Amino acid sequence: MKFLLLQVCLLSICCHCFAQLPAPNYDENSIPPYTLPDPLLSKNGKKITSVKQWETGQRPYIRQLFEEHVYGKIPGKIKGQHFKLTETDSNALGGKAIRKQVNIYFTGSESGPYMKLILYLPKTGKKVPVFAGLNFKGNQTIDTDDGIAMARYWKNASTDIANADDSRGIRMERWPLEKIIGRGYGLATAHYYELEPDHKDGWKEGIRTTLKDALGIAADEWTAIGAWSWGLSRIQDYLETDTRIDASKTILIGHSRLGKTALWAGANDTRFAKVIANESGEGGAALSRRWYGETIAHLNTNFPHWFNGKYKTYNNNAAALPVDQHMLLALIAPRPLYVASAQEDQWADPRGEYLSAKHALPVYLLYKLPVTGLETMPGINQPVGKTVRYHIRDGKHDVTAYDWEQFLNFADETK
């Protein structure tokens, strides 16, 4: 009898597990039908037909829905925030670039929380647009130069390197500095851990705790993705003060979880002129209602700190969400948007990322912007679309030279 009870118990625990975390689906033919919410249908069931209605009513309403159901709140900056230039190297990258390192102090005090920003600029007399994004493993990983200040969290949860110096330059391929500089752009990046370490207890050390009083917001009112997004806006605050930079043209870029972050930052902070979300997947560009690859339940189980409490109620029930991710993409309108996928990154649901971009187009059309090219999903390595661009390249989940080539072309062509 006892044995039987134990078996029943184990079975129900297991069923519970499965109910919480179904195996990912990778079969197009097994996707149950779904209906996407219409970004242009107001809360009262009225069709939005003008930019004015969109900007004054519908856009703020949809942004608010994402805040409430998905990503949590986003506070403003703190009075007293200031910047300290800690290094200028006028001969970086073998003389091709200027490198600056700046501490962004989030409060009036230097003993308070801060973030280390690294900036590369071409040596031109003109103000340049900058690509801005967070990095995964520290600023020292984007180039081998030992003048780059070491990240405070160089040994983070996703870094299996034994000593700090071994991490120098390990992510150079993801940040092709010479190419970016050569094309006339700058690059600004900071380590996302400096805002909040990326694990379920990271909030205790991160700005959701250390800036709780200064920002007047409790840790559980926002999320890790919110904290990282907030940091992107603080980078833009700095860029606006640098006379060598055209900060009205900042191109926000993020990969994977940091692609989700870039989209949320771009939705909240319209100072970002263009947004690139590379392989941002579930909770990023990919449609949640499409049951393919990662699901909301996977996200919430593996990364409970990324999204808010309410989002957990949509585990295995995406249909109940008042939004889907095409509406997040629509919040970027009318600004140019690039959604990028990789063929071997099925976990991120490339087709769901493409469809999301396509279903954001009605909002771009309100602005009468050219949006052709996304009618059908393109083949491998064929970027399509004008204001909203999409590609699926061959290969795995990563940021490659191919991706950067397309992002630079996009930046040039959407000036």
Indicate whether 281 belongs to the interface with ligand GCU (CB under 6 A): yes
**Minimal distance, residue 302 CB to ligand GCU, in Å:** 6
Which residues in the 335-394 window bind ligand GCU by CB under 6 A?
347
**Minimal distance, residue 347 CB to ligand GCU, in Å:** 6
Task: Work out which of 143, 194, 282, 349 binds ligand GCU, going by CB under 6 A.
Answer: 282
Nearer to ligand GCU (CB atom), residue 347 or residue 402: 347
Nearer to ligand GCU (CB atom), residue 257 or residue 326: 257
Indicate whether 256 belongs to the interface with ligand GCU (CB under 6 A): yes
**Minimal distance, residue 181 CB to ligand GCU, in Å:** 26
d(CA 372, CA 337): 14
**Minimal distance, residue 315 CB to ligand GCU, in Å:** 14
Residue for token pair 């249908």: 41
How many CB atoms lie under 10 A from the CB of residue 193? 27
| String of DSSP letters for 285-338 | TB-SSS-SBS-HHHHHHH-TTTS-TGGGGGTT-GGG-S--HHHHHHTTTTS-EE
E strand spans, 66-129 = 82-91, 97-105, 114-122
d(CA 343, CA 394): 5
Indicate whether 133 belongs to the interface with ligand GCU (CB under 6 A): no
**Minimal distance, residue 257 CB to ligand GCU, in Å:** 3
Q: Which stretch binds ligand GCU (CB under 6 A): 41-49, 139-147, 294-302, 371-379?
A: 294-302
Task: Work out which of 242, 294, 353, 403 binds ligand GCU, going by CB under 6 A.
Answer: 294
**Minimal distance, residue 291 CB to ligand GCU, in Å:** 15
CB 226 within 8 A of CB 71: yes
Indicate whether 67 belongs to the interface with ligand GCU (CB under 6 A): no
Nearer to ligand GCU (CB atom), residue 297 or residue 411: 297
Let me know if 69 is a catalytic residue: no
d(CA 135, CA 329): 22
d(CA 96, CA 178): 8
As a dihedral over the C-alpha atoms of residue 266, residue 267, residue 273, residue 274, rounded to 10 degrees, the angle is: 70
Let me know if 280 is a catalytic residue: no
How far apart, in Å, do the first and last CA atoms of the chain sit? 73
Strand 274-278 with 337-342, pairing: parallel
- Total residues at interface with ligand GCU (CB under 6 A): 8
- Choosing from 167, 229, 233, 256, the catalytic residue is 256
Buried b (16+ CB within 10 A) or exposed e, 78-112: beebbbeeeeeeeebbeeebbbbbbbbbbbeeeeb
Task: Work out which of 244, 249, 257, 393 binds ligand GCU, going by CB under 6 A.
Answer: 257
Nearer to ligand GCU (CB atom), residue 281 or residue 385: 281
Give the binding site for ligand GCU (CB under 6 A): 256-257, 281-282, 294, 299, 302, 347
Q: Which residues are catalytic?
A: 256, 397
